[in-house]
């Protein structure tokens, strides 16, 4: 943080937060959390569950009372609503709202008001000239944002009410877990590059598919979180993208595409999805077939409650195939092949 609240202002912070909490208390159940730095480090701590019982602190907002929206955020007059950035991290059930030019004082002067039916936590931080709010929800939602003057209205929507079909795409490995490698080529980077190239394909098509990504940066979510996202959303398809390697990790002539599936899926949907992925890769990439493999020993496959396929695009331990895998053109083709496999499977399953 660029600006810090000293310890001797803690009492002031407490009083202001109580006032803020009183404002929110009129709207059933909304929690208020103010955040500040300690002197010892830059960690952020929450002032949680402060006193909300004093009805004399209640400030009624007649404007919001007539609104059908769930949450309202007021912006200072010098902030352009179009400069506010909103991002989602579905893996952590969170939304981040960045407002340029506001600092800690914003929390005191412009409290959030509305309902907290879907909110588990609410934090505020000040970083790089922006006030950064993080809203943690009790489940994965789509956030619908409406702008009216200096007010932002938020509604948390069930993804099933928004999309015809829902998919989770997982870029394998990440962070300190690089996956398999060959020289400077790391599996984690190739996986992420391919899934990133899938995004515009979904965004620009005419289908109403909701796609959630387990990671869009270089970090390593736990396996339980990856498959947990798919299970909680009860998605129609769960795809995990990987690059293959020989068991020893040594360079060899072995090459080709392979797809794992959950053989315990009695519906056969997992195997059918995996087969579509394999056929699409063979057709688009011109790679050799390493076939379909029952992957029930793999955690994210074994514990998946939805149709799952783990696509091994090619072998990084084959120098010729490695050179293809690190090329933008081949990554784009891989992305297109998996996108097509998803769309075709959803059509077969009568989801589109």
Residue 54 has what pLDDT? 32
Instruction: Write out pLDDT tens, residues 69-128.
Output: 788 888 999 999 999 999 999 999 999 999 998 887 777 777 677 776 788 887 888 878
Does 41 have pLDDT greater than 50? no
φ/ψ of 41, rounded to 5, equals -155, -175
Give domain 163-348's CATH number out of 3.40.630.40, 3.40.50.1100, 3.30.43.10, 1.10.3720.10: 3.40.630.40
- What is the Cα–Cα distance from 79 to 106, expressed in whole angstroms? 12
Give the span between the Cα atoms of 294 and 230, in whole angstroms: 19
pLDDT in tens, 231-266: 999 999 999 999 999 999 999 999 999 999 999 999
The pLDDT assigned to 56 comes to: 31
Residues 154-169: what's their mean pLDDT?
A: 96
Instruction: Answer whether residue 336 shows pLDDT above 80.
Output: yes
Helix, strand, coil in percent for the chain, rounding step 5: 35, 30, 35
Every domain of the chain and the residues it spans: 7-157, 163-348
Helix 269-285 and helix 328-348: axis angle, to 10°? 140
- Render pLDDT for 202-228 as a digit per residue (tens, 0 to 9): 999 999 999 999 999 999 999 999 999
pLDDT digits (tens, 9 = 90+) for 253-312: 999 999 999 999 999 999 999 999 999 999 999 999 999 999 999 999 999 999 999 999
Element (H, E) at 123: strand 119-127
Using alpha carbons, select from 293, 164, 141, 334 the residue that is nearest to residue 229: 141
């Amino acid at each position: 943080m660029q600006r810090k609240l000293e310890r001797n202002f803690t009492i002031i912070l407490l009083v202001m937060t109580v006032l803020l909490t009183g404002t929110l208390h009129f709207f059933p159940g909304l929690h208020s959390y103010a955040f500040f730095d300690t002197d010892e480090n830059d960690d952020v701590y929450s002032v949680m569950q402060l006193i909300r019982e004093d009805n004399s602190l209640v400030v009624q907002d007649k404007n919001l009372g007539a609104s059908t929206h769930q949450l309202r955020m007021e912006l200072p007059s010098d902030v352009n609503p179009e400069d506010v950035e909103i991002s989602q991290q579905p893996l952590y059930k969170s939304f981040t709202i960045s407002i340029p030019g506001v600092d800690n004082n914003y929390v005191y002067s412009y409290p959030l008001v509305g309902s907290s039916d879907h909110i588990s936590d609410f934090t505020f931080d000040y970083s790089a000239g922006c006030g950064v709010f993080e809203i943690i929800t009790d489940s994965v939602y789509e956030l619908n944002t409406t702008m009216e003057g200096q007010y932002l209205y938020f509604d948390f929507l069930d993804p099933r009410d928004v999309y015809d079909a829902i998919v989770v795409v997982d870029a394998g490995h990440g962070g300190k877990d690089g996956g398999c490698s060959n020289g400077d080529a790391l599996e984690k980077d190739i996986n992420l590059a391919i899934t990133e190239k899938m995004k515009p394909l979904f965004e620009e098509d005419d289908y109403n598919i909701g796609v959630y990504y387990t990671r869009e940066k270089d970090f390593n979510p736990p396996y339980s979180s990856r498959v947990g996202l798919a299970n909680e959303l009860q998605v129609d398809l769960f795809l995990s993208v990987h690059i293959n390697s020989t068991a020893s990790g040594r360079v060899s002539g072995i090459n080709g595409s392979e797809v794992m599936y959950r053989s315990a899926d009695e519906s056969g949907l997992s195997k059918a999805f995996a087969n579509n992925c394999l056929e699409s890769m063979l057709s688009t990439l011109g790679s050799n077939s390493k076939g379909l493999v029952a992957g029930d020993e793999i955690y994210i496959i074994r514990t998946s409650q939805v149709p799952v396929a783990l696509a091994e695009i090619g072998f990084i331990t084959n120098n010729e195939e490695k050179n293809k895998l690190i090329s933008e053109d081949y990554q784009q083709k891989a992305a297109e092949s998996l996108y097509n496999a998803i769309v075709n499977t959803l059509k077969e399953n009568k989801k589109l």
